[in-house]
Amino acid sequence: MPTVHARPYDFPFDPAHTAVVMIDMQRDFLEPGGFGAMLGNDVSLLRPIVPACVRLLALARAKGMAVIHTQEAHDAQLADCPPSKRARGALSCGIGDPGPLGRVLVAGEPGAGFVPELLPQPGDVVLRKPGKGAFHATSLDAILHAQGITHLLIGGVTTEVCVQSTMREANDRGYECLLVTDCAASYFPQFHAAVVEMMVAQGGIVGWAAPLAEIERAFA
């Protein structure tokens, strides 16, 4: 069985029961003119992880692991967007408003789409989610159960928001989770680093963490 030399200790996993969960690698978070930029962030800080994410997805497909892409987006009527979420930040151009990448964070609009390097491929699961955690108001738990998935390799953006929320939700549901550290990023590098420490502290209270090279090495 492949075993990742991870923090806080080794992480063995069976690829047949493991999914790579790629969180919200959408234009709305990575490109100028999207939701992340509307919030005042320097979106260029997220792009450096794209090549590693491409490698992680290629490895997953080559080794028979399930691939799940999550997508934070709302329906056109914003019926699944709590008013509190829409109001947050008091943005002049916020969720549902027309922006340079189409209506902000709305499914089917250009901004809600994935960055071109990470487009879903046949066989991948695409999971739209209205919240930050990927288990909230979605069928993710049922999808994972149906496929016999017990272990998750998690990447995406942003580390301290949707990635962290999802990893905590997954941990509480009994999944063994490893955060792929160089496949996740934040607009705040110090938050990324802090989340990694939080996850692995106290004997891996939320899970494990390792860079992609250690996952590749586990298969070597």
Indicate which residues carry an active-site annotation: 24, 129, 162
Four-residue CA torsion sign, 109, 187, 162, 62 = positive
Which of the stretches 2-10, 82-90, 156-164, 170-178 binds ligand C5J when contact is defined by CB under 6 A?
A: 156-164
Q: Is 157 an interacting residue with respect to ligand C5J (CB under 6 A)?
A: yes
User: Judged by CB, which is closer to ligand C5J: 24, or 214?
Assistant: 24
Residue 207 CA to residue 15 CA, distance in Å, equals 17
How many chain residues are in contact with ligand C5J, going by CB under 6 A? 8
Q: Which of residues 15-44 bind ligand C5J (CB under 6 A)?
A: 24, 29
First to last CA, the chain: 12
Q: Is 161 an interacting residue with respect to ligand C5J (CB under 6 A)?
A: yes
Find out whether 7 and 152 touch, Cβ atoms under 8 Å: no
Which of the stretches 137-145, 153-161, 167-175, 210-218 binds ligand C5J when contact is defined by CB under 6 A?
A: 153-161
DSSP letter for each residue of 119-143: ---TT-EEEEESSSSTTTTSSHHHH
Of 81, 162, 167, 195, the one binding ligand C5J (CB under 6 A) is: 162
Residue 86 CA to residue 34 CA, distance in Å, equals 15
User: Judged by CB, which is closer to ligand C5J: 81, or 218?
Assistant: 81
Four-residue CA torsion sign, 196, 201, 204, 205 = negative
Tokens of 22: 């790629």
User: Judged by CB, which is closer to ligand C5J: 4, or 21?
Assistant: 21
The residues that touch ligand C5J, with contacts defined as CB under 6 A, are 24, 29, 72, 132, 157-158, 161-162
